[in-house]
Amino acid sequence: MHAIRFPSRRRLLAAAGAALCFAAPAFTQAQAPAPTYPTKPVKLVVPYPPGGPTDIVARLVAQKLSDAMGQQFIIDNRPGAGGNPGAELVARSPADGYTLVVATTAHAINPSLFKNLGYSLAKDFAPVSQLTSGPLVIVANPQLPAKNVAELIALAKSKPGELNFASSGNGQSTHLSAELFAAMAGVKMNHIPYKGSAPALTDTMGGQTQLMFDTMLSAMPHVKAGKLKALAVTSAVRSPVAPDVPTVAESGLPGYEAIAWNGLLAPAGTPPEVLARLSAELKKVLAAPDVKDKFEAQGFAASWNSSEDFGRFMSAEVDKWAKVVKVSGAKVD
């Protein structure tokens, strides 16, 4: 009969020590909190060229978020095709909070203007917050004979299809607001799309196009410099930034109104805690007096809202602009 041998006390202690060595890291790892977002630079896709209103807003917000969150928010300009390529890029990016897009009014217009979008605004994005809102301003080359909206309508009626208006691209608010104007006024103007506001304004100042409906943020500096003249603002009431510039409604086209906005979107499926962190930081950034002053000086209002409210706002915008597209008969050139 074989004797049963029990391990020595020394071997038992060694085995127990080894077991603790394997167990301890697992316990520590399970108890360690997840790293706080963000732990690396964040890409902020701007679907327009540098120098335009969306780019101006994005760069200020990116700098403030970088300062507040301890990681760089890097601007990545992806202009063209009504802001669609930039939006599609972000829609297809990992839903981890490290690739975001600055959306505009155009992204609420595009579903009813483009037949085959490579993304769905409702399904492929998680709303973070609105950033800004504000009116557009009708600016014209100083050589254009019209000095106000009534004279612009009369000029357009006398030269059907001869007046060229620039826009920052097909489907942008700068395009559709002009189409709505033309439809309500009963005039025909020729649309010249550009890849952003900056080149469109350059050609309007140079006389290649006669006028443009643009954001006050990018257009008013040129008005103040005397390179463009402002005919009217597109809001229901006058802007405090340019109180001497009348509204379209009061100066020849009753009932007309168009507003532009910017907002931040993440890919659908982005963790709720990441969206919450971004929203909380944006709320502080957009409430900062220097940020509000910089936006308001150019005709924009800082406009934070919750993710849920921003989602509802965008849905309403999609419905509103679908009606404008139908009424105006606007088409992608």
CATH of the domain at 273: 3.40.190.150
Q: What is the pLDDT of residues 252-299, one digit of tens each?
A: 999 999 988 999 999 999 999 999 999 999 999 999 999 999 888 778
Q: Are residues 122 and 139 in the same domain?
A: no
Last residue of a domain, one of 183, 216, 251: 251
Mean pLDDT of the chain: 87
pLDDT the model gives residue 329: 78
Q: What is the pLDDT of residues 6-34, one digit of tens each?
A: 344 444 344 444 333 333 333 333 333 34
Structural domain of 186: 135-251
In a domain, 324, yes or no: yes
Q: Are residues 129 and 172 in the same domain?
A: no
Last residue of a domain, one of 200, 218, 251: 251
In this prediction, residue 81 has a pLDDT band, given cuts at 50, 70 and 90, of confident
Q: Are residues 264 and 119 in the same domain?
A: yes
pLDDT the model gives residue 22: 31
Backbone angles phi, psi at 209, to 5 degrees: -125, 160
Q: Are residues 125 and 179 in the same domain?
A: no
pLDDT the model gives residue 35: 64
If one counts the domains in the chain, the total is: 2
pLDDT the model gives residue 167: 93
Instruction: Indicate the burial class of 138 (C-beta count within 10 angstroms; 0-12, 13-18, 19 or more).
Output: buried
Q: Are residues 58 and 155 in the same domain?
A: no
Q: Are residues 129 and 274 in the same domain?
A: yes
Identify the weakest region by mean pLDDT among 21-35, 45-59, 63-77: 21-35
In this prediction, residue 330 has a pLDDT band, given cuts at 50, 70 and 90, of confident
In a domain, 281, yes or no: yes
In a domain, 22, yes or no: no
pTM for this prediction: 0.76
Instruction: Indicate the burial class of 118 (C-beta count within 10 angstroms; 0-12, 13-18, 19 or more).
Output: middle
Q: Are residues 99 and 87 in the same domain?
A: yes
Instruction: Indicate the burial class of 188 (C-beta count within 10 angstroms; 0-12, 13-18, 19 or more).
Output: middle
Distance CA 96, CA 39 (A): 11
pLDDT the model gives residue 333: 55
pLDDT the model gives residue 197: 87
Q: Are residues 129 and 180 in the same domain?
A: no
Q: Are residues 294 and 190 in the same domain?
A: no
Q: What proportion of the chain, given as a percentage, has pLDDT over 90?
A: 69
